[in-house]
Structure 1
Amino acid sequence: MQVLQVQLEIRPDPAEVGRARRWARSRLAGSGIRADEPLAETLTLLVSELATNAVVHTGRPAMLRLLMCGLRDGSIGTVRLEVVDTSACPPTPRCAEGDETDGRGLALVEGLADRWGWSPEGVGKRIWCELDRVAVTGVGAVARGGLAYGVV
């Protein structure tokens, strides 16, 4: 299995989140993942959530990494997103109430990623999530984890 790793340093500035999304889209496209694929759309949202958390909650620079794991046929099978920062505070999922404007990011990550977690990293932490690429198998059907289901 071949793994391609790319990374981007993001400054503690909310404007960096948009730059991180554009960077991720560009890297995915360069690896043959179209912008309209579910993986690209979902990963862009996850980049936005994790980059925002790093920028807003740490106030420190962070490193954004994409690791694209290739299959035998040369296509990308799994994409791992990592955000490494220098804050030792663990990620804390919140339960946002009603009209609150924040507190849903980690719930989105948990709901959208195939796997996610975090671990201490030096003086800070690494938050990661993984997405498995969905293969189109026929009209209106996709294969995910060995199962096929219809798209409604």
Structure 2
Amino acid sequence: MESRGSDPARPLSYEGVWRFTAPAVGISVPRARHAVRDLLKRQRVPVRDDVVQGVLLIVSELVTNAVQHAALLSPELAVEIAVGAEWIRVSVEDDHPYRPGPLEPGTDQTRTGGRGLLLVREITREAGGSCDAEHTAGGGKIVWALLPFTSPFGGLPARGSVTSPRRAP
């Protein structure tokens, strides 16, 4: 991992916040996933492949939820990727006010959908990260997930050791 050297205030070359918008339609799901993958590669974010795969699955699930459940009130969605010294935060924002919650394991096994947020929660939990949904000032919502670059499975940061970064203005 790149060192900050003698200037702890100087951001690392891969740190930053990137935001893009997309129409709330199905084709935006793979486009968002590819855009995030390309961003992480272009910025040379020093993250393990299993974490990248988790981030990309989370992007797919969150964008899919916005397309399927918010498009009527929110024809456009925003994807934001924030990269810190040791974490990645992905969020999807839409203008629909409903804050979804994941189905709990074992609920109505005949349903074909509704498990995306459960999957997001499990990926972030297993990676030692966190996820949540928040209301926006405009009445919509942001659903986000934060993952550390490393996983507790490798004897690295334990769950709860990573805190959510502040949102960029």
**TM-score for both structures, normalised by structure 1:** 0.80
More strand by share: 1
Aligned equivalents of 1:45 and 1:11: distance in 2? 19
Native 8 Å contact 2:48 2:149 kept in 1: no
Aligned equivalents of 1:117 and 1:68: distance in 2? 17
Given candidates 52, 55, 66, the residue that maps to 2:64 is 52
Given candidates 103, 107, 123, the residue that maps to 2:139 is 123
Alpha-carbon deviation of 1:146? 5.5
Given candidates 16, 24, 27, the residue that maps to 1:15 is 27
Query: What corresponds to 1:109 in structure 2?
Result: 120
Alpha-carbon deviation of 1:33? 3.9
- Paired positions, count: 136
Alignment RMSD: 2.2
Query: What corresponds to 2:102 in structure 1?
Result: 93
What amino acid maps onto 1:6 in structure 2? W
Alpha-carbon deviation of 1:126? 1.1
- Could you say what secondary structure the match of 2:154 adopts? strand
Alpha-carbon deviation of 1:21? 0.6
Aligned equivalents of 1:52 and 1:12: distance in 2? 9
**% identity of equivalent residues:** 24
Query: What corresponds to 1:69 in structure 2?
Result: 84
Give ranges in structure 2 of 5+ residues lacking alignment.
Answer: 1-8, 160-169
Q: Give the ranges of 4+ consecutive aligned residues of structure 1 lying more than 6 Å apart after TM superposition.
A: none
Alpha-carbon deviation of 1:38? 1.0
Please say if 1:84 is aligned against 2:84.
Answer: no
Query: What corresponds to 2:54 in structure 1?
Result: 42
